[in-house]
């Protein structure tokens, strides 16, 4: 069966599943393989749970006419997604970057959905499996599709771009993320810029932060660019008027009061504004979209818990995002501030130096009370309290109460799961 024939089946059964635990009746089940599982082994279970078809790549599991044998299930999923994207009459916006991808994606969707029928990557399904699954969510009525692209090594964004074939693109920033896979900051810039390479090679439009020197240099001679700036009159001017704690923006005389903390979220909002203006969303609707957006899923959330104000930013962390968040927290007006920092992952040989730098920055910013958590932070030279594991800091907090009424900042990589701190305060 070729991809065009499989697509005809997909149009009749337009729901895809890769997990039999979440399968619904009439889904098409793709039997993907992983390091610790073989989806082919679940073919019978998928059929028993009501799958219309099961895509397999091992002949021994071809148990009925509802199993379709292909050379490689993952490749077939990716080709089907690419075919469907081209089949549908939708505009695709792709975005990548070191920090802020998911928040920016959500903000763009909040703005554009005020005028258009949109879909956006669910959660952070932004890899070689997530991007195809997101593209297969496109329906005949979808006018704009917003696709987030993540990567931890070079050539990955190029590959995802070949699948999504974006009409527009945006890079949030270039920072110290996934240094191990990219081979350093220059590798990050090269890898993320693969989105630019695709867009410029195909004459597509690029949205940009014109205040970012890297973006400005790389797009200097490109014609189809639409940027925002706080100072350069050649681009769309947007101003941040406050960030204590919530970001407030002025654009064309209109004030936008967001529910996002951190000056680092300013450019994320700007990206949504510039795309809204490009697609002719009225400024009043852009304002409404941004002001109504409420962050969740451990991303820059402001919570009240047992007399504490908690800034929970525990979804992920790298040296760039950690630095920006700490500097922002230092500038907030609060009587007592306490910092909880968890290890940053995927830093390779730079791990010790980067954790040491963050510990020193925390001290330089004047934080008297900080707790460093994880094997990497435990090795740094610092007079702050250090703990190898979350359990150790949890036990410490049980035995040693912290000042009620304090403002707490919690940030670490996803594997640290520091949202658990909420149970310990």
CATH assignment of the domain containing 328? 3.90.190.20
Q: 80 in a domain, yes or no?
A: no
* Helix axes of 194-201 and 185-192: crossing angle, nearest 10 degrees: 30
- Residue 285 and residue 243 in one domain: yes
pLDDT higher than 80, residue 297: no
- Residue 122 and residue 226 in one domain: yes
Tens-digit pLDDT profile for residues 88-132: 989 999 999 988 899 999 999 999 999 999 999 998 789 999 999
- For residue 6, the model assigns a pLDDT of 96
Distance CA 178, CA 156 (A): 13
- Residue 92 and residue 135 in one domain: yes
Q: 97 in a domain, yes or no?
A: yes
- Residue 92 and residue 59 in one domain: no
- Residue 54 and residue 94 in one domain: no
Nearest to 397 by CA among 293, 302, 306, 327: 306
Nearest to 419 by CA among 386, 399, 394: 394
- For residue 59, the model assigns a pLDDT of 94
- Residue 195 and residue 341 in one domain: no
CATH of the domain at 208: 3.40.1190.10
- Residue 333 and residue 281 in one domain: no
Distance CA 15, CA 240 (A): 42
Q: 83 in a domain, yes or no?
A: no
- Residue 66 and residue 122 in one domain: no
Q: 78 in a domain, yes or no?
A: no
- For residue 177, the model assigns a pLDDT of 74
pLDDT higher than 80, residue 159: yes
Against a cut of 0.85, is the pTM above it?
yes
pLDDT higher than 90, residue 402: no
Domain total for the chain?
3
- Residue 38 and residue 97 in one domain: no
Task: Give the side-chain half-sphere CA count within 13 A for 276.
Answer: 29
pLDDT higher than 80, residue 217: yes
Q: 406 in a domain, yes or no?
A: yes
- For residue 315, the model assigns a pLDDT of 86
- For residue 399, the model assigns a pLDDT of 87
- For residue 241, the model assigns a pLDDT of 95
pLDDT average, residue stretch 29-36 = 92
Nearest to 293 by CA among 229, 246, 226: 246
Q: 328 in a domain, yes or no?
A: yes
- Residue 195 and residue 337 in one domain: no
Structural domain boundaries, residue 23: 3-72
CATH of the domain at 43: 3.40.1390.10
Average pLDDT, the chain: 93
- For residue 271, the model assigns a pLDDT of 98
- For residue 175, the model assigns a pLDDT of 79
Q: Which of 37-51, 53-67, 177-191, 203-217 has the least mean pLDDT?
A: 177-191
pLDDT higher than 90, residue 151: no
- Residue 99 and residue 60 in one domain: no
pLDDT higher than 90, residue 79: yes
Q: Quick one: pLDDT band at residue 295, thresholds 50, 70, 90?
A: confident
pLDDT higher than 80, residue 186: yes
Q: Quick one: pLDDT band at residue 188, thresholds 50, 70, 90?
A: confident
């Amino acid at each position: 069966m070729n991809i065009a024939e499989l697509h005809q089946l997909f149009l009749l059964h337009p729901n895809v599943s890769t997990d039999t635990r979440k399968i619904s009746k009439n889904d098409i089940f793709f039997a993907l393989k992983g390091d610790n599982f073989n989806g082919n082994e679940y073919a019978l279970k998928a059929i028993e749970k009501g799958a219309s078809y099961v895509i397999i790549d091992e002949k021994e599991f071809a148990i009925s006419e509802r199993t379709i044998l292909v050379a490689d299930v993952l490749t077939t999923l990716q080709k089907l997604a690419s075919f469907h994207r081209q089949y549908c009459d939708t505009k695709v916006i792709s975005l990548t970057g070191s920090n802020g991808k998911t928040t920016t994606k959500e903000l763009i969707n909040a703005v554009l959905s005020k005028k258009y029928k949109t879909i956006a990557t669910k959660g952070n399904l932004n890899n070689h499996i997530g991007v195809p699954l997101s593209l297969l969510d496109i329906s005949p009525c979808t006018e704009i599709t917003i696709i987030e692209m993540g990567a931890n090594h070079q050539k990955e964004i190029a590959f995802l771009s070949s699948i999504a074939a974006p009409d527009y693109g945006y890079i949030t920033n270039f920072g110290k993320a996934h240094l191990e896979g990219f081979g350093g900051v220059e590798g990050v810039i090269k890898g993320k810029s693969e989105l630019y390479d695709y867009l410029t090679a195909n004459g597509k439009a690029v949205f940009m932060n014109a205040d970012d020197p890297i973006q400005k240099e790389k797009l200097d001679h490109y014609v189809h660019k639409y940027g925002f700036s706080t100072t350069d009159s050649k681009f769309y001017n947007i101003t941040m008027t406050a960030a204590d704690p919530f970001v407030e923006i002025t654009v064309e005389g209109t004030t936008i009061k967001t529910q996002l903390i951190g000056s680092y979220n300013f450019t994320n909002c700007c990206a949504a504004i510039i795309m809204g203006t490009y697609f002719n969303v009225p400024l009043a609707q852009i304002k409404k979209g941004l002001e109504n957006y409420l962050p969740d899923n451990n991303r820059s959330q402001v919570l009240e818990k047992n007399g504490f104000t908690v800034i929970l930013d525990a979804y992920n962390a790298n040296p760039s995002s950690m630095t920006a968040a700490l500097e922002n927290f230092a500038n907030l007006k609060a009587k007592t501030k306490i910092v909880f920092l968890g290890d940053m992952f995927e830093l390779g040989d730079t791990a010790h130096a980067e954790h040491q730098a963050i510990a020193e920055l925390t001290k330089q910013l004047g934080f008297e009370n900080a707790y460093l958590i994880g094997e990497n932070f435990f090795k740094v030279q610092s007079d702050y309290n250090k703990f190898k594991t979350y359990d150790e800091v949890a036990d410490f907090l049980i035995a040693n109460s912290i000042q009620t009424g304090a403002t707490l900042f919690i940030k670490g990589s996803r594997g640290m799961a520091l949202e658990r701190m909420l149970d310990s305060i």
